[in-house]
Amino acid sequence: MTPDRDELIRLLALEDFTPVYARADAVRRESVGDTVHIRAILEFSNYCRRQCRYCGLNRNNRTAHRFRMTPEEMLATARAAHQAGYRTLVMQSGEDPWYTKELLGEVVKEITSWDMVVTLSVGERPHGDFAYWKQCGATRYLLKHETADPVLYDALHPCGTLEARVGCLRALKALGYETGSGFMIGLPGQTLSTIADDLLLLKDIGCDMAGIGPFIPHPATPLAHQSAGDPALATRAVALARLLLPAAHLPATTSLGVLDDAEKQHVFSCGANVIMKKVTPDAYKTLYEIYPAQLGHTDIPAERRALEQQIRALGRNPL
Ligand code: SF4
């Protein structure tokens, strides 16, 4: 039976969550099997016109060194990822209108011509842009709602509304995109009821993908002195997302690994079936700092091989 709001709140607060993890793992196995999908993620611009109060890329952060990759650089990186065995590229940036719909469309057309799936994650854009990129070959779009509480949403996002964000997600679904959303655990002011609403919003939109990870404070943001989110609570939310959306793609998020690498392994036995690996070139990687993280040298083939080994060690099949 699918849990309702009251049941979700009760489950989130359980002392012993082990039976729910086991149920989520069984649902994952029955619905999407033992494959763990490895996605390459290319962060191609850290310019952003928005002011999200938790994010190091927000436009008010004057200490951030900004970069934009050229289409040629993007294609060279995408080609290297393809040669290393990746078959999905997530193209992510801040909300940066410098990349016109036509410019991004050309990049999408080229990459998808190599039999590579493109997921776009470039923020809120006119719905006509979404339609255009779909025609160019993009089939997936990620746009996290971050919190389903409209009051908290307004407090965290001086530009934009929850209504507009959800409107974009519904438009993406209507266009036929595999649509991904997601949210953070541990935002100041968030309660278990908020998390239940976050989960139910994913279901209401009919999300095909959902990224759920802990909030990590960035020192150059208004939330610098807040505490980080609880990784274990994030894992609980992933497990419940699996119960609500049995066939969805649910990643073990990078933020979870930043706070607690063991928890990132654990989440694969609690419903997760996707992992993303940065392929962003070294020159730009450390500048794409939504939250602080220790990042090593990018070696696309070696990192892919290492990840495949880790996934096999978990008894799962990398793809
Ligand atoms: S969360 Fe996204 S839209 Fe908001 S400031 Fe960061 S990069 Fe920009």
Yes or no: say if 270 and 21 are a contact pair by the CB < 8 Å rule.
Answer: yes
Residue 296's Cβ-side half-sphere holds a number of Cα atoms within 13 Å equal to 6
Cα of 54 to ligand 1 centre, how many Å?
A: 8
Give the whole-angstrom CA distance, residue 198 versus residue 182.
8
Residue 5 has what pLDDT? 95
Q: How many domains does the chain have?
A: 1
Residue nearest to atom 2 of ligand 1 (CA): 94
DSSP letter string over 183-248? Answer: EEES-TT--HHHHHHHHHHHHHHT-SEEEEEE----TTSTTTTSPPP-HHHHHHHHHHHHHHSTT-
Answer yes or no: is the C-beta of 57 below 6 A from any ligand 1 atom.
yes
Residue 174 has what pLDDT? 97
Give the whole-angstrom CA distance, residue 279 versus residue 307.
13
Atom of ligand 1 nearest to the CA of 49: 8
Answer yes or no: is the C-beta of 20 below 6 A from any ligand 1 atom.
no
Atom of ligand 1 nearest to the CA of 157: 4
State the pTM of this model: 0.94
Answer yes or no: is the C-beta of 52 below 6 A from any ligand 1 atom.
yes
Counted residue by residue, the chain has a size of 319
Range 225-243 burial, b when 16+ CB lie within 10 A, else e? ebebbbbbbbbbbbbbbbb
Q: Which of 53, 58, 143 to mutate to test the pocket of ligand 1 (most atoms within 8 A of CB)?
A: 58
Cα of 239 to ligand 1 centre, how many Å?
A: 26
Place of tokens 């009251």: 6
Which CATH number does the domain housing residue 290 bear?
A: 3.20.20.70
Atom of ligand 1 nearest to the CA of 146: 1
CA distances from 207 to 3, 151, 157, 177, 306 (A): 17, 23, 22, 10, 30
Atom of ligand 1 nearest to the CA of 51: 5
pLDDT along the chain (319 residues), means of 10: 91 94 96 95 97 95 95 97 96 97 98 96 97 98 97 94 97 98 95 97 97 93 93 95 97 80 82 94 89 82 89 91
Residue nearest to atom 4 of ligand 1 (CA): 52
Answer yes or no: is the C-beta of 59 below 6 A from any ligand 1 atom.
no
What's the domain range around 63? 5-318
Which of 201, 105, 101 is CA-nearest to residue 149? Answer: 201
Residue 290 has what pLDDT? 84
Tokens of 234: 């994030």
Atom of ligand 1 nearest to the CA of 290: 6
Residue nearest to atom 5 of ligand 1 (CA): 58
Residue nearest to atom 7 of ligand 1 (CA): 94
Please name the residues in contact with 162: beta carbons below 8 A apart, sequence gap of 6 or more. 145, 147, 148, 149, 150, 153, 154
Residue 254 has what pLDDT? 78
Answer yes or no: is the C-beta of 275 below 6 A from any ligand 1 atom.
no
Which of 199, 273, 205, 217 is CA-nearest to residue 2? Answer: 199
